[in-house]
């Protein structure tokens, strides 16, 4: 979680971006930097954001690096016009293209609390 906040700051993005990123990671991996899970994997998804090398997110080494994977997610978020003002689940889904697009919303309050607690520390 701290790696996501730091990468967000380094990317010059605000607390809202960190909330979207953390909520996304909570949904995708429960903030765990997951490696390959065999039959339990969704295709070749790995890392905090369950990004896929086969979808162009980067190499396995890259997408399992918290700073890289967060930066890749944020670069995708920057491409979503109006992401700052849209519901979190829509912004996250536009980047992630998940089979479960509405599941991100359940993490928004927890993500906002984590960012509020750790943004200035």
State the pTM of this model: 0.92
Tokens encoding 116: 């509020």
Structure tokens at 21: 């990123």
* CB contact at 8 A, 70 and 3: yes
53-88: pLDDT as tens digits = 889 999 999 999 999 999 999 999 999 999 999 999
Question: Which domain does 100 fall in, by range?
Answer: 2-118
* Strand partners for 47: 34
So what's the pLDDT on residue 37? 62
Domain count of the chain? Answer: 1
For residue range 85-119, what is the model confidence (pLDDT) as tens digits? 999 999 999 999 988 889 999 999 999 999 999 99
Under DSSP, the state recorded for 10 is H
- Nearest in space to 83 (alpha carbons), one of 96, 68, 99, 64: 96
Looking at residue 109, what DSSP letter applies? Answer: H
Q: Which residue has the tokens 């605000």?
A: 14
Six-digit token pair at 109? 């309050």
Gap between the Cα atoms of 12 and 52, Å rounded: 25
């Amino acid at each position: 979680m701290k790696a996501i906040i730091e990468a967000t700051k380094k990317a010059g993005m605000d607390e809202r971006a960190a909330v979207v990123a953390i909520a996304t990671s909570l949904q995708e991996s429960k903030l765990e930097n997951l490696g390959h899970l065999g039959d339990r994997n969704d295709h070749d998804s790995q890392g905090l954001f369950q990004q896929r090398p086969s979808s162009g997110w980067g190499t396995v080494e890259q997408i399992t690096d918290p700073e890289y994977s967060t930066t890749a997610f944020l670069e995708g978020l920057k491409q979503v016009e109006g992401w700052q003002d849209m519901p979190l689940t829509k912004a996250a889904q536009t980047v992630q293209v998940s089979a479960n697009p509405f599941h991100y919303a359940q993490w928004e309050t927890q993500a906002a609390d984590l960012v509020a607690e750790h943004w200035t520390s």
